[in-house]
């Protein structure tokens, strides 16, 4: 039992970027997934030429198929297998998804031709909260870990008690821990005042009250903190499309995740109003001006996770024409370069960035 808890503690580490990819094409691959997140397992190059294949977890064939046809997928509600590129994408990962997976491949005669295994290790989301100020708002992820900073150090504190629902779940005297009612999944470190609670469940949510006593046994301080749960943001999808005047609409969306907050950067710098036609650096849908190109990144975060996606965007191929033509007509507009019939002799053309490179 202790060994199991030790192992779990080891696995509970910080995890940002909640979509992970793992190449499972080699036998014995070690794969990591974040609790509540998504893992993409590359099982093979393509299933299109494989007569029959089965993916086992705990002796149960959770996925099986014949070439491009998926015969069964026991976790179809939260996974998808793409035969053409051999990727198995599982989202809403839970602890029970961890363990060994075995892929068995059969040849056209029905004989087993190959077998390989991969280990999927699920890591918990870990959050930190400074509870040294009264009324602190802390966030945790279900199944994850929260590190509550209760005080700088308990070493000089005569006596302290942490209450949850009128029950002292933790109490101590200086460096000595007297009671820890959640000792099986938590640890308090008196020297740095941190209380680490693993495998959080809904019932851990709510108000915590820390009471500190002086050497005369009188209450000298009392403060509360609130623990609230958020679902981590999982994968981020970034989609762009050109609009009729050469503007580019980009929308960023995320799977799962409570209260997602968006932010954008272009080549590492926050998007500015001079690059935006609509939206701002904190909305999920934006429209970029005609001449904007580069590495566009959308980041989605909440209090327990951060995930981002980057895409190289080029312009929609429009150029700005500002000319007074022979007939005296003044034209000032964005036109699709390939369709442009205006002779640039007397015109001034604001080329797009791509054009400038030429
Ligand atoms: C495999 O195909 C799916 C569906 O088209 C796609 O979403 C995914 O990005 C592809 N994965 C790889 C590794 O090519
Ligand atoms: C599946 O295997 C894991 C360990 O790999 C074990 O803890 C779990 O109980 C098994 N589940 C079932 C349904 O057999
Ligand atoms: C986490 O807690 C849940 C109950 O809240 C329990 O069912 C589960 O077994 C625990 N998981 C681990 C890895 O200890
Ligand atoms: C503890 O408090 C929470 C809300 O803060 C409540 O939902 C829960 O029922 C309480 N548990 C007990 C054992 O009183
Ligand atoms: C968005 O831009 C405003 C003004 O430039 C800035 O104050 C804010 O910090 C930016 N937000 C993010 C998430 O980058
Ligand atoms: C952003 O765009 C998506 C897809 O076009 C749309 O479903 C969504 O409602 C838009 N969100 C906002 C806040 O306008
Ligand atoms: C460019 O010309 C083609 C052919 O006439 C037309 O189909 C297309 O819509 C035009 N593109 C733009 C952006 O005007």
Domains of the chain: 19-123 (2.60.40.10), 126-229 (2.60.40.10), 232-358 (2.60.40.10)
284 lines ligand 6 (CB under 6 A): yes
| 335 half-sphere exposure, CB direction, 13 A CA radius | 15
Residue 47 DSSP label: S
Of 13, 302, 303, 2, which Cα lies nearest the Cα of 144? 13
Summarize the confidence of residues 148-174 as an average pLDDT.
Answer: 97
285 ligand 6 Cβ < 6 A: yes
Q: Which tens digit of pLDDT belongs to each residue from 112-149?
A: 999 999 999 888 789 999 999 999 999 998 888 999 99
What's the pLDDT at 163?
98
Q: Does the model's pTM come out above 0.75?
A: no
Establish whether residue 240 lines the binding site of ligand 6, counting it when its CB lies within 6 angstroms of any ligand atom. Answer: no
Q: How confident is the model at residue 357 (pLDDT cuts 50, 70, 90)?
A: very low
- Residue 321: which of 242, 241, 245, 240 has the closest Cα? 245
Q: Closest ligand to 286 CA? A: 6
Burial of 332 (0-12, 13-18, 19+ CB in 10 A): exposed
341 lines ligand 7 (CB under 6 A): no
What pLDDT score does 321 carry? Answer: 86
CA of 303 to the centre of ligand 1 (A): 29
Q: Name the CA dihedral angle for 213, 214, 217, 222, rounded to a multiple of 10 degrees.
A: -20
pLDDT value at 97 more than 50: yes
Q: What per-residue confidence (pLDDT) applies to 11?
A: 33
Q: What is the pLDDT of residue 33?
A: 87
Q: Where are the alpha helices (DSSP H) in the chain?
A: 2-11, 353-357
Extract the runs of DSSP E, i.e. beta strands, from 276-327.
276-278, 285-288, 294-301, 306-313, 318-324
**pLDDT value, residue 206:** 97
Identify how many contiguous H helices and E strands the chain contains and give both numbers: 2, 31
pLDDT band at 57 (very low <50, low <70, confident <90, very high): very high
- Residues 175, 56: Cα–Cα separation, whole Å: 49
3-state DSSP helix/strand/coil % of the chain, to nearest 5: 10, 55, 40
Pick the closest to residue 277 from 264, 263, 292, 257 (CA basis): 292
| pLDDT over 70, % of the chain | 91
Range from 89-93, 316-320, 341-345 carrying the lowest mean pLDDT: 341-345
Residues 6+ away with beta carbon under 8 Å from 170? 161, 162, 177, 179, 180, 181, 182, 186, 188, 195
Taking Cα atoms as reference points, which of 69, 91, 94 lies closest to residue 79?
91
Confidence of residue 5 (pLDDT cuts 50, 70, 90): very low
CB atoms within 10 A of CB 295: 12
Q: Is 105 helix (H, G, I), strand (E, B) or coil?
A: strand
CB of 85 shorter than 6 A to ligand 1: yes
186 neighbors 195 (Cβ within 8 angstroms): yes
- Interior angle at CA 238, CA 236 and CA 239, nearest 5: 145
Whether the pLDDT of residue 298 is over 90: the answer is yes
Question: Mean pLDDT, the chain, as a whole number?
Answer: 88
pLDDT at 27 over 70: yes
| 329: confidence class by pLDDT, cuts 50, 70, 90 | confident
| Cα 286 to averaged position of ligand 5 atoms, centre (Å) | 14
- Is the distance from CB of 173 to CB of 190 less than 8 angstroms? no
pLDDT of residue 256: 74
pLDDT given at position 354:
38
For the cut 80, the answer to whether the pLDDT of residue 311 exceeds it is yes
Q: Supply the pLDDT for residue 122.
A: 86
Q: From CA 281, how far away is CA 266, in angstroms rounded?
A: 10
Output the pLDDT for position 343: 55
Q: DSSP assignment, residue 174?
A: T
Q: What integer is the mean pLDDT of 157-179?
A: 97
**CA distances (Å), origin 206, targets 123, 125, 137, 260:** 24, 19, 10, 22
Encode pLDDT of 182-221 as tens digits. 999 999 999 999 999 998 988 999 999 999 999 999 999 9
pLDDT, average across residues 302-320: 90
Question: Quick check: 241 pLDDT over 70?
Answer: yes
Beta bridge partners of 172: 160, 177
Please name the residue whose Cα sits nearest to atom 5 of ligand 7: 339
d(CA 354, CA 73): 46
- Looking at per-residue pLDDT, the higher value among 307 and 2 belongs to 307
The proportion of the chain whose per-residue pLDDT surpasses 90, expressed as a percent, equals 70
Whether 66 shows a pLDDT value over 60: the answer reads yes
Question: What is the predicted pLDDT for the residue at 144?
Answer: 87
């Amino acid at each position: 039992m202790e060994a199991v808890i030790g192992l779990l503690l080891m696995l509970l580490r910080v995890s940002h970027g909640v979509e992970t990819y793992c190449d499972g094409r080699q036998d014995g691959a070690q794969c990591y997934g974040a609790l509540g997140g998504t893992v993409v397992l590359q099982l093979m190059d393509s299933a299109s030429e494989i007569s029959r294949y089965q993916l086992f977890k705990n002796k149960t064939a959770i996925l099986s198929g014949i070439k491009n046809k998926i015969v069964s997928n026991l976790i179809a509600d939260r996974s998808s297998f793409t035969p053409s590129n051999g990727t198995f994408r599982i989202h809403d990962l839970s602890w029970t998804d961890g363990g060994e997976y075995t892929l068995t491949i059969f040849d056209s005669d029905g004989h087993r031709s190959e077998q390989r295994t991969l280990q999927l290790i699920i890591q918990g989301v870990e959050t930190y909260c400074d509870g040294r100020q009264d009324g602190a708002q802390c966030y945790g992820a279900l199944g994850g870990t929260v590190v509550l900073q209760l005080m700088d150090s308990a070493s000089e504190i005569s006596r302290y008690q942490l209450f949850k629902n009128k029950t002292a779940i933790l109490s101590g005297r200086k460096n000595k821990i007297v009671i820890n009612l959640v000792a099986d999944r938590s640890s308090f470190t008196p020297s740095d005042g941190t209380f680490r609670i693993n495998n959080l469940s809904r019932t851990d949510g709510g108000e915590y009250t820390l009471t500190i006593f002086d050497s005369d046994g009188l209450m000298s301080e009392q403060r509360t903190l609130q623990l609230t749960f958020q679902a981590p943001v999982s994968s981020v999808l970034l989609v762009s499309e050109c609009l009729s005047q050469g503007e580019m609409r980009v929308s960023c969306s995320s799977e799962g995740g409570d209260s997602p907050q968006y932010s954008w950067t272009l080549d590492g710098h926050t998007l500015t109003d001079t690059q935006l036609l609509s939206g701002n650096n904190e909305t999920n849908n934006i429209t970029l001006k005609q001449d904007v190109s580069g590495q566009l990144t959308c980041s989605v975060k909440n209090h327990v996770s951060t995930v981002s996606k980057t895409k190289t965007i080029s312009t929609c191929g429009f150029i700005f024409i500002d000319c007074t033509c022979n007939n005296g007509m003044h034209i000032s507009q964005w036109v699709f370069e390939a369709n442009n019939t205006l002779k640039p002799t007397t015109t001034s053309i604001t080329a797009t960035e791509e054009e400038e490179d030429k």
